[in-house]
């Protein structure tokens, strides 16, 4: 039988399969999200995120040590303050949770790269990502607050800031503030294309940041929309974002792909808490194989066009890369 083209020819041997892989990954592309909480001697497991913990500042270095050993070089810090108020004022205090965490972490692990999530929802008593005017989240009055938070993170040692609030114009506002204070070299990783997603559920439990009324649909995006994702991405590029993020990752691979075609800056993708919880739950039930799911989800995200990957599975992925299972 004449058959000149046989795709299987390249699949018989593992070495050859690896040789012709189209997607390559590296541990340096991974960012590990970390929850830091007010208090001392705390390392508490997050119930809906088995294997993930909240750390107090004094316990944080133990985790940073584990990350360094695994070859992870970047973290994204989320703060969980003791006190919350209407204006989220704990977010920009010099001795706030993120600011103290940065101080301590940088002292002990100066070679790690520290990115901070800039948002109000962990700090406001109502759990919304901006200042309220009546029942509405007010865009423009939130901008100066976000700028203030970003500046205070950078002053405390953040290497990069990542606004995740989805207010219009916040990248420009933050860029202007950082530049005014001569932090022209600090990049902004914008959560540019962030959908209103049920997949954030476990995170909100972890951070105690669920909105006390309403939802986030007046600022986070409607998941029916693809072209709007491109609009958001391009706007943030114009405003001076250095890296743009698509979030969540797994249900939004089409968006990652589209955005990577129309922009020239790096694309990050965030495999969020709900994606982590799904994998954990299914594997605990014995229904699917955890390792293989982790690998497949990661590779598909890079294949779609992301070059930076935020994931709670960063340590596991680093190990799989070391073992040559992926990448």
Output the CA angle 163-197-101, nearest 5 degrees.
35
Nearer to ligand PBG, 19 or 51 (CB): 51
What DSSP letter does each residue of 168-189 carry, written as one string? TTHHHHHHHHHHHTT-TT--BE
From the list 10-18, 116-124, 179-187, 285-293, the region that binds ligand PBG by CB under 6 A is 116-124
Which ranges constitute the DSSP H helices of the chain?
Answer: 14-19, 60-70, 97-108, 139-155, 170-180, 201-207, 227-238, 253-262, 273-284, 290-304, 314-322
- Using CB under 6 A as the binding rule, whether residue 98 contacts ligand PBG is answered as no
Nearer to ligand PBG, 52 or 111 (CB): 52
- Look at residues 94, 154, 83, 91 and name the one whose alpha carbon lies nearest to residue 119: 91
From the list 35-43, 64-72, 117-125, 138-146, the region that binds ligand PBG by CB under 6 A is 117-125
Three-class SS of residue 237? helix
Nearer to ligand PBG, 187 or 202 (CB): 202
Nearest approach in angstroms of CB 200 to ligand PBG is 4
Nearest approach in angstroms of CB 124 to ligand PBG is 11
Q: How far is CA 93 from the centre of its chain?
A: 23
- Using CB under 6 A as the binding rule, whether residue 121 contacts ligand PBG is answered as yes
Distance in angstroms (rounded) separating the CA atoms of residues 275 and 273: 5
- Using CB under 6 A as the binding rule, whether residue 34 contacts ligand PBG is answered as no
Nearer to ligand PBG, 58 or 141 (CB): 141
Q: Is 119 annotated as a binding residue?
A: yes
247 is catalytic: yes
Element (H, E) at 118: strand 113-118
Q: Which of 37, 194, 280, 315 is catalytic?
A: 194
Cβ proximity of 153 and 91 under 8 Å: no
Q: Is 273 annotated as a binding residue?
A: yes
Site pattern 175..214 for ligand PBG (x: CB under 6 A): -------------------------x--xx----------
Nearer to ligand PBG, 51 or 322 (CB): 51
37 is catalytic: no
Distance in angstroms (rounded) separating the CA atoms of residues 78 and 95: 15
Site residues for ligand PBG, window 259-318 (CB under 6 A)? 272-273
Task: Count residues near ligand PBG (CB under 6 A).
Answer: 11
Q: Which of 27, 37, 84, 247 is catalytic?
A: 247
User: Which residues have a Cβ under 8 Å from the Cβ of 17 and sit 6 or more positions away?
Assistant: 10, 11
Cβ proximity of 123 and 91 under 8 Å: yes
My answer on whether omega of the bond before 157 falls inside 30° of 0, hence cis, is no
Q: Is 204 annotated as a binding residue?
A: yes
Nearer to ligand PBG, 29 or 273 (CB): 273
Q: Is 14 annotated as a binding residue?
A: no
Distance in angstroms (rounded) separating the CA atoms of residues 297 and 225: 22
Distance in angstroms (rounded) separating the CA atoms of residues 163 and 188: 8
Query: Using CB under 6 A, which of 52, 116, 152, 164 touches ligand PBG?
Result: 164
Q: Which residues are annotated as a binding site for Mg(2+)?
A: 232
Which positions are catalytic?
194, 247
Q: Which residues bind ligand PBG (CB under 6 A)?
A: 117, 119, 121, 129, 164, 200, 203-204, 216, 272-273
């Amino acid at each position: 039988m004449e058959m000149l083209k046989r795709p299987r020819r390249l699949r018989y041997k593992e070495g050859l399969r690896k040789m012709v892989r189209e997607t390559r990954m590296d541990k340096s592309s991974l960012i590990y999200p970390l929850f830091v909480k007010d208090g001392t001697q705390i390392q508490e497991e997050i119930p809906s995120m088995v294997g993930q913990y909240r750390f107090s500042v004094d316990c944080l270095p133990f985790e940073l040590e584990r990350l360094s050993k695994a070859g992870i070089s970047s973290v994204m810090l989320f703060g969980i303050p003791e006190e919350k108020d209407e204006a989220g004022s704990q977010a920009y205090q010099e001795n706030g949770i993120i600011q103290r965490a940065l101080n301590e972490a940088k002292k002990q692990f100066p070679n790690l790269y520290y990115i901070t999530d800039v948002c109000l929802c962990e700090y406001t008593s109502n759990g919304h990502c901006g200042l309220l005017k009546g029942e509405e989240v007010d865009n423009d009055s939130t901008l100066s607050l976000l700028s203030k938070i970003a500046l205070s993170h950078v002053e405390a040692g953040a290497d990069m800031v990542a606004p995740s609030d989805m207010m219009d114009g916040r990248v420009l506002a933050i860029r202007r503030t950082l530049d005014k204070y001569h932090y022209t070299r600090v990049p902004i990783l914008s959560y540019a294309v962030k959908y209103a997603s049920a997949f954030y559920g476990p995170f909100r439990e972890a951070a105690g940041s669920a909105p006390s009324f309403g939802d986030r649909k007046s600022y986070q995006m409607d998941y029916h929309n693809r072209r709007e994702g491109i609009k958001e991405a391009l706007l943030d590029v114009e405003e001076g974002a250095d890296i743009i993020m698509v979030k969540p990752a797994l249900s939004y691979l089409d968006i990652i792909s589209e955005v990577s075609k129309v922009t020239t800056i790096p694309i990050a993708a965030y495999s969020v808490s709900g994606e982590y919880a799904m994998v954990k739950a299914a594997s605990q039930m014995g229904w699917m194989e955890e390792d293989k799911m982790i690998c497949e989800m990661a590779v598909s995200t890079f294949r779609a066009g992301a070059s930076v990957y935020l994931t709670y599975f960063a340590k596991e992925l680093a190990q799989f890369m070391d073992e040559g299972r992926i990448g």
